[in-house]
Structure formats: structure tokens, C-alpha cells
Amino acid sequence: MISELIGLLITSVLLNNAILNQFLGLCPFMGVSRKKSSALGMGMAVVFVIVAAGLVTYGLYYLVLVPLHLEYMDLVTFILVIASLVQLTEMFLKKSSPALYKSLGVYLPLITTNCVVLNVCLVNISNGYDFAHMLVYTIGTPLGFALVLYIFSCIRERLDTADVPASFVGNPVALIVAGLMAMAFSGLAGII
């Protein structure tokens, strides 16, 4: 059981990475990766929201939707729950922790449209995870997202000072780097 959970954690962080393997969350991946500080703030906010959304949607599905035979409403329910949760989190941060709001709050509206959040909620249900597996997958996926976002931002900061051909400056060279990162991460497949 423990080895299975560790395997799931490594898989969700590195091998089945949301960005490099599933091509999810590419909008913030390209948009918020120009500076390390922004990438770190976005990564932390994504971890917070995905863990909260995963727990709430999992509970809602098995405690409300299944008993009421409303399983077919999972998609629309999860979308509304995620959007509501982001509003609630933003309001909570505004009132209780201005310092945290300053570093994370600005990225919260961006997360509402981040497809990684919805993907985690749907995969938890479609794969039939029990609570322990759900928890590991829900923590592992945003950690993988934040890790790749941070590494990518470090590379992009270096790229700003590199001698890149004019036609490749900006997003083109960033996409090539993302492709190389995806190949590098796929090389980790042998560890499981």
C-alpha cells in the first residue's frame, strides 16, 4: 500500500506531469514563467487551490452526488465548486492575511480557468481512487505543476540574456525549451 502510494506520488509529480505529459495548464505555464518570483507565487497558489478543490469535490461527489443519483452532474458541479472555492479563498486571504494575499491573491483569478484543477477533480473520480490515493494524487499533481513551472522560469530568465536568433526570441524558444524538458522528464520513466 505504502509503496503504491509512493509510486503514485512520483508518477503524478514527474512521470505523468500535468504540463509536460498531459499538456494541461499551458496558459499559466507560458504566461507566468518569465520571472522566478511569479512562477513561485503561481505554483504555491495552484498547490493550495488544487488540494482544497480535490478534497471538496471528492467529498461532494461521494456524499451528495452518488446518494442522490446525480453522478452525471459531476462536470458542472466541479466547475462551479472550483470557481466558488477560488472566490472564497480570495475573500479569506483579503480579510485574514494581507501578506499572503499580496503574494498569492493576484494569481487566484488565473487559477479559475486552469484546467489542471478540473482534471485532478475528474481523475480522482474516474480512476475510482480511495481517500489515500486521492490525497496523494491531489497533492502530487500540483507539486509537479509548480516544480516544472519554477524550473521553466529559471531557464527563461537565463534565456533573456542568451544570444537567441531573432526569429526565436520569446515564445518560440520557450516552446522549444518546453519540448526538451518534456523529453528529459520522459526519461525518468525508468525509475518506476
Partner 1 sequence: MNPLNLILAILFFGGLVGLYVFLFIKNKNTPKPAGCENLKPDCSGCRDYSCPNHPKEES
Task: Give the residues lining the site for partner 1 (CB under 8 A).
Answer: 26-28, 30-32, 34-35, 37-38, 42, 64, 68-70, 73, 76-77, 80-81, 83-84, 87-88, 90-91, 94-95, 98, 101-102, 105-107, 109-110, 113
Least separation, in Å, of the C-beta of 186 and partner 1? 24
Question: Quick one: which of 133, 124, 139, 137 has its CA closest to 62?
Answer: 124
Nearer to partner 1, 23 or 131 (CB): 23
Nearer to partner 1, 84 or 127 (CB): 84
Helix (H, G, I), strand (E, B) or coil at 68: coil
CA distance 36 to 27: 16
Nearer to partner 1, 105 or 144 (CB): 105
Least separation, in Å, of the C-beta of 50 and partner 1? 18
CA distance 17 to 148: 8
Nearer to partner 1, 136 or 146 (CB): 146
On whether the CB atoms of residues 31 and 21 are closer than 8 A, the answer is no
**Residues near 97 by Cβ (< 8 Å), separated by ≥ 6?**
none
Cell representation of residue 89:
479563498
Phi-psi region of 136 (alpha: psi -120 to 50; beta: other; left: phi over 0): alpha
CA distance 25 to 114: 6
Nearer to partner 1, 97 or 127 (CB): 97
